[in-house]
Homo-oligomer: A and B are copies of this chain.
């Protein structure tokens, strides 16, 4: 395959990625701020760690350092407009829960709620943080996972025929998976 060469920043080679809505308690305002983040990754199995990248300039970054906990919420494709709206508003001047009439579910191990509309969410306690370039990698230890019944197989794999996860492509584009494309090339080792 012939290739064109370009400088870093010229294309979003790392998308599509799942949209992850990060929830953080805003104690001063008695609400919870929710913001979409696409730069996330599992970081460890044992202990179970999940990392999110936030710019130190963001309101959510400031809140996470105060509360020391956050929830990560995953949306289906039909909620692309919600993800977009959460990204446009700032928690500094808007109570997004009120403005977008978000239904919340109380945390089980945290004081931070999750989004009721999410098909999966994880409750995380901030374990450590690393300054990396222009972002901070916030490392959360997963305490509990909440999932909508029927959305994951017995072996823990998302059932694409039941649920179309929201994928972000960069710029203002979103898409989802093709359930018909699901396949199992072998029974072998897993990429990590």
Contact = CB atoms under 8 A, between A and B. Distances in A.
Interface of A: 1-19, 35-51, 53-55, 74, 77, 80-81, 83-85, 87-88, 105, 108, 116-122, 128, 130, 132-135, 137, 139, 142-149, 152, 155-158, 160, 164-165, 167-179, 181-192
- Copies of this protein in the assembly total 2
A162 to B, nearest CB: 12
A171 B158 contact: no
A177 B175 contact: yes
B81 A158 contact: no
A145 B6 contact: yes
A16 B165 contact: yes
14 contacts: A1-B116, A1-B118, A3-B149, A10-B145, A11-B147, A12-B158, A14-B40, A43-B135, A43-B137, A85-B186, A164-B178, A175-B182, A175-B183, A176-B177
Nearest to A170: B157
A39 B41 contact: yes
Given A17-B17, A133-B45, A1 B156 contact: no
A81 B192 contact: no
B165 A188 contact: no
Nearest to A169: B157
A59 to B, nearest CB: 13
Nearest to A21: B191
Given A1-B118, A15-B157, A43-B53, A142 B87 contact: no
A170 B187 contact: no
B39 A43 contact: yes
Interface centre among A13, A85, A182 (most CB of B within 10 A): A13
A127 B5 CA distance: 22
A77 B183 CA distance: 10
A93 B146 CA distance: 41
A147 B17 CA distance: 18
